[in-house]
Structure 1
Amino acid sequence: MRTTAPTESKATPVIEVPAPALPQQQLILTIYGLYGRRAGGQLPISVLIQMLGDLGHDAPAVRSAVSRLKAKGVLASVKGGGLARYELSDASLKLISEGDERIFAPARANPGAPWVLAIFSVPESKRERRHQLRAELTRLGFGSMGAGVWIAPSGVRESAQQRLEARGLDKYVEFFTGDYSSESDMRAKVAQWWDLEALGSQISQFMDTFGGSLEEWTALVGEDPGAAFGASSPELRRSAFRYYVPMLTLWRRLPYRDPGLPLEYLPVGWQGPEARRIFFGVHRLIGPMAESYAMSLVEEAEAA
């Protein structure tokens, strides 16, 4: 079900802001990926509290989420400067930077393009690593062909190797790239190797929440991002921030779970291309406004 919260300003035309149920930790990672690097990698905790407050989360919950991320080694505290600050750990910063290409420039393979096989073997004494490998390969968009054999379009190989190396799992995996020579029905094979029902459900969730977003924002600000930004008020930029951060948080799961499988191998009526069109259309229109609002909060905190 789509839940919404109206914007509060009477001076700005109202656009309904979806409020999907998203964990605070995921929203914080989105904020750091979008705006933390533009602020020198660091964000004051007061700014995080204000940003998450705009998204409907109270200060104690934000502090608790930051503490959990710090305990996991995702965030690190920064001393000095008179403000309590946090930054991404080096490993987390590397993963987020590597993820930009997957999230913002997802590629779709063509039929007949090469595949990559990930074949792993884990000693029984370390079977927990086996579970971690399966989970990571699933998150990276690989399909399971059988015990220890996973497959994906070859374009995801480099990012997969980097992610597994960062997780300390690369020593258990060998990668091979090649063609699939069988005359089998690839649509049936893909449905066997990937959980398309789960992936389709995630795409449907995105479409249920944000399917009308491009039409709504275009009606509100027009089709020209530059003109929209130039005419935007502080209230509209805040609305853009409140809209864009949850949208990106929900979107960024999809380019990983769908590794760019050829459309010819996916079910008829697959919604992935339409979800991509909508996300990038809204990203183009309101991303700059959302960034302007976010960075204004950082500047105000620094000046205080």
Structure 2
Amino acid sequence: MQAGPNPQHLLTTLLGEYLDSADADLPSAAVVAMLGEFGISESSARAALSRLTKRGLIAVRGAGRPPVYHLTAQAIARHRSRMDQFLSFGARPPRWTGDWVAVCFSLPQSGQAPRHAVRKALGSLGFARLYDSVWIRPGTDAGPVSRELRDILDGVEGGRWSVMHTRFAEEAGPRGPAAAYDLAGLAAAYEEFIARYSGLRVAVRNGEIDATRALVARTSVMDSWRKFPDVDPDLPEHLLPARWPRQAARDLMLEIHSALGALAEARLIEVAAPYWPDAARWITHFRASEDSVSVPADRDR
């Protein structure tokens, strides 16, 4: 069995971080070599390529053998959006209006399959369970959840559901919305991130990281950080516990990510070039700009 990082997630991170053009021809052997830097076997690398092709993130160009891949235009747009999300997350407090979207639903006891489908859909849309069948998320946009519930439940006999805009009378109290979230678990995840990469930051500051280590280290940091924008509800400060560790984790991530960008890019080119002569033309890296939006490093195409 493949040990270590998930090959598909890792390849998605690599492509999102270091490629920014649908015109680049990406040989499969180069992908195998890139993932080999992380201890991913050839069979697992090729399986990851196959899965990303099925998901439409990459496509095969032509009918040659061995196959040559390229990022799709949709993947480029998605990668740019996600990099913006990853690198800007936590940069500034959310604009808070006190508004929440609440979902209530009631299903017959026989409705286990639709119940599971509803809970999965709500979780994917950023909702958290406040009570058994009451789910909430910050904000005012109720359109996506209304459409999901309509698709899942409109044909379920005895099923009822409502989507509401609401405010809490005691927003910061023990019966307020923060009770829906495992903030202690989230804080522990941030603290674990800090503990895991603090030594790396010291090594970066001391100039001890060469290009070989930079690629693995920088990609690992981003692969670890990228989960937080999806699981952190980005609640306003008055709903968070004291000494919330997100800012410390973000500062650590950005320092490592910025410092190792050029080294990691150089190593990825070195690894890919024997199988991909044009690697230096296409491989780049994203960085956080002053306004917290990610941009590719300047390169001549």
Report the TM-score, using the length of structure 1 for normalisation: 0.69
How far does residue 271 in structure 1 lie from its aligned partner after superposition?
A: 1.7
Q: Is the 1:214–1:278 Cα contact (8 Å) retained in structure 2?
A: yes
Structure with higher Rg: it is: 2
Which is further off, 91-100 or 212-221?
91-100
Which is further off, 91-100 or 41-50?
91-100
How do 1:34-53 residues align onto structure 2 when only pairs under 5 Å count? Answer: 34-38=17-21, 40=23, 43-53=26-36
What 5-or-longer segments of structure 1 have no aligned partner?
A: 1-19, 222-234
Q: Per-residue CA shift, 1:48-97, capped at 9, x if unaligned?
A: 21111111122122122323333455443332576523345565554433
Q: 1:61 aligns with which of 44, 52, 61?
A: 44
How far does residue 103 in structure 1 lie from its aligned partner after superposition?
A: 0.6
RMSD over equivalenced CA pairs, Å: 3.8
- Amino acid of the residue matched to residue 15 of structure 2? Y
1:16 aligns with none
Question: Separation in 1 of the partners of 2:173 and 2:96?
Answer: 10
1:13 aligns with none
2:16 counterpart of 1:28:
no
1:225 aligns with none
How far does residue 186 in structure 1 lie from its aligned partner after superposition?
A: 4.7
Q: Per-residue CA shift, 1:231-252, capped at 9, x if unaligned?
A: xxxx922221111111100100
How far does residue 211 in structure 1 lie from its aligned partner after superposition?
A: 2.5
1:9 aligns with none
How do 1:149-164 residues align onto structure 2 when only pairs under 5 Å count? Answer: 149-153=135-139
Q: Is the 1:44–1:86 Cα contact (8 Å) retained in structure 2?
A: yes
How many aligned positions are there? 261
Q: Is the 1:211–1:275 Cα contact (8 Å) retained in structure 2?
A: no
- Amino acid of the residue matched to residue 109 of structure 1? P
- Amino acid of the residue matched to residue 186 of structure 2? L
2:110 counterpart of 1:136:
no
Question: Separation in 2 of the partners of 1:244 and 1:121?
Answer: 43
Q: Is the 2:96–2:236 Cα contact (8 Å) retained in structure 1?
A: no
Q: Is the 1:43–1:298 Cα contact (8 Å) retained in structure 2?
A: no
How do 1:164-175 residues align onto structure 2 when only pairs under 5 Å count? Answer: 169=148
Q: Is the 1:153–1:259 Cα contact (8 Å) retained in structure 2?
A: no
Q: 2:61 aligns with which of 78, 81, 106?
A: 78
What 5-or-longer segments of structure 2 have no aligned partner?
A: 153-161, 279-301
Which is further off, 291-300 or 113-122?
113-122
Q: Is the 1:118–1:175 Cα contact (8 Å) retained in structure 2?
A: yes
Q: 1:50 to 1:134 in 2, by over 3 A?
A: same
Q: 2:238 aligns with which of 264, 277, 292?
A: 264
Report the TM-score, using the length of structure 2 for normalisation: 0.70
- Amino acid of the residue matched to residue 130 of structure 2? M
Q: 2:176 aligns with which of 170, 175, 189?
A: 189
How far does residue 40 in structure 1 lie from its aligned partner after superposition?
A: 3.4
Question: Separation in 1 of the partners of 2:66 and 2:149?
Answer: 39
Q: Which has the higher helix share?
A: 1
Q: Is the 2:4–2:39 Cα contact (8 Å) retained in structure 1?
A: no
Q: Is the 1:187–1:266 Cα contact (8 Å) retained in structure 2?
A: no
